[in-house]
Amino acid sequence: MLLQMKGVEKRFGGVTALRQGDLEIRAGEVHLLMGENGAGKSTMMKIIAGMQKRDGGDMIWQGQSVDLDNPKQASQLGIAMVHQESLLAPHLSVAENIFLGREIPGPFGTVNRRKMLAEATRLIAQYGFRLQADWMVGRLSPAGKQLVEICRAIQNGTSLLIFDEPTSSLSEAETHEVFRIVRELRERGTGVIYITHRMEELRSVGDRVTILRDGATVHTEALATLTKERMIQYMVGREVNSIYRRDPLPPGEALLSVTGLSTPDLLRHISLNLHAGEIVGLGGLMGAGRTELCRAIFGLDPISTGSVQVAGRPVLLRNARQAVAAGIALIPEDRQRTGLARELPIAWNVTMANLDAVSPGGVIRHPEEAKVTKQAIDRLRIRCENGKQRAGRLSGGNQQKVVISKWVNRGARVFLFDEPTRGIDVGAKVEVFEVMDQLAREGAAILMVSSELPELLQVADRILVMSQGHLVGELPRCCTQEDIMRLATVPPDSGETLQ
């Protein structure tokens, strides 16, 4: 037994983040840790990695009871963590980041750059990463950064490695790369704890699962015997219909028509139509241009050729205002950074895109605004105290609903959802799908970008696939994940035709 956590507790002020955290990790196993947002997974991991001190319970490391005050002590024991958000210095090289805080010293208090570079190169080669030690970290893709994080964590004799949602920003192919590394670590006898939301990908990599709910460990079992339904049941504490399936409507008039859209750097002659009542999925690998397509349609990035029409009327693609005025809505992939004004009240977020309606003559009518907000909260079932609550205080799913409500309030008819369920709980995901379905039933046209294929298959009426800036094909809703992957990995100029 590598590590035992027994009845671990952690409180932040009056809030109990963890009240009964139990966990056992064997050497050479991949142990999945699951639970909804706020279940206490990250807190438990931070305690194990020495980033936070526990308030109660025991931590037993290789048979010895230990107390960790800081991450350095954890790393001396051989415990390391790969973080969900990249904690790297973008202006430094890969090698400098790998050795950040434990530089190899040279003479007179200097740093031995050459030795660090050589060591980093050796480490990278050992695991076969597609990286170079002298690359600037800021220029790397999210996947590349993840690899640097992994290098940092495994550099010297690590016996327990914690991954906190390592694949949440990675594409399918990159995810497989991470799995390959995880398996390799397992074979070397390293214990791996792996936190994730994406259940689909787990089967191929995990040995056992521990599930947390509301700050307590509720279940541990071998992955092979645990069904998805039971797993979800343990996570949410009730039965959830996770297999969401939408009944498609007969599509109405064409609401959004994109013709021959190209951008200087990526998109090539994209043409597509979205009809009223339709949810169209958009699949593809990271970097295929899905987010870029949404941004271009929304007028955020300059285009070189092509046109966009909403309900037959051309839209000038000069800036987002034109798109908003035409009735297009973008629910961006990075909710925290570009979707939500976290410090502002829910009400202000709801009316942000349509403030004119409640402020005739430039003066805001507060009762009117409160009424509109109440309607939005009821309609999308946003769980909150009231409209004055800060938007950033809500759970991920409810934050997403606030972002959506901004557009519902605006009366948008074309919705571009970019990764709408990223970082959202299982239960809340279904609610987001239901909102999308509701919008479609009310006559909206919806484009949904998702990297989670099962999600696309559940929700979309048909699925468009992009590869390297081209729209390479369209699939019906009854297609399989393999169909999508096959199209997504086809080089667009290979001449291979679509079905």
Residue 91 burial (C-beta neighbours within 10 Å; 0-12, 13-18, 19+):
exposed
402 near other proteins (CB under 8 A) = no
**Of the candidates 239, 364, 383, 476, which one interacts with other proteins according to CB under 8 A?**
364
Determine the residue type at 54: R
367 near other proteins (CB under 8 A) = no
DSSP letters spanning 194-227? EE-S-GGGTTTT-SEEEEEETTEEEEEEEGGG--
Q: HSE of 109 in the Cβ direction (CA atoms, 13 Å)?
A: 0
Minimum distance from residue 52 beta carbon to other proteins (Å): 14
The crossing angle, in degrees rounded to 10, of helices 426-441 and 228-236 is 100
**Of the candidates 69, 313, 337, 385, which one interacts with other proteins according to CB under 8 A?**
337
**Of the candidates 200, 239, 356, 493, which one interacts with other proteins according to CB under 8 A?**
356
316 near other proteins (CB under 8 A) = no
Report how far apart, in Å, the C-alpha atoms of 267 and of each of 96, 260, 263, 317, 329 are.
35, 10, 5, 15, 20
Stretch near other proteins under the rule CB under 8 A, chosen from 36-44, 213-221, 308-316, 341-349: 341-349
The count of residues in the chain is 499
321 near other proteins (CB under 8 A) = yes
**Of the candidates 107, 109, 312, 362, which one interacts with other proteins according to CB under 8 A?**
362
The crossing angle, in degrees rounded to 10, of helices 172-187 and 142-154 is 10
53 near other proteins (CB under 8 A) = no
Q: HSE of 395 in the Cβ direction (CA atoms, 13 Å)?
A: 20
340 near other proteins (CB under 8 A) = yes
357 near other proteins (CB under 8 A) = no
Evaluate whether 33 touches 193 at the Cβ level (below 8 Å): yes
**Of the candidates 58, 239, 253, 343, which one interacts with other proteins according to CB under 8 A?**
343
Minimum distance from residue 50 beta carbon to other proteins (Å): 21
Query: From residue 283 to residue 312, what is the string marking binding to other proteins with x (rule CB under 8 A)?
Result: ---------------x-x------------
Closer CB to other proteins, 308 or 484, in the complex: 308
Evaluate whether 88 touches 99 at the Cβ level (below 8 Å): no
Evaluate whether 309 touches 315 at the Cβ level (below 8 Å): yes
Minimum distance from residue 359 beta carbon to other proteins (Å): 5
386 near other proteins (CB under 8 A) = no
Minimum distance from residue 231 beta carbon to other proteins (Å): 34
Residues that bind other proteins (CB under 8 A): 13, 298, 300, 319-321, 323-325, 330, 332, 337-344, 348, 352-353, 355-356, 359, 362-364, 366, 406
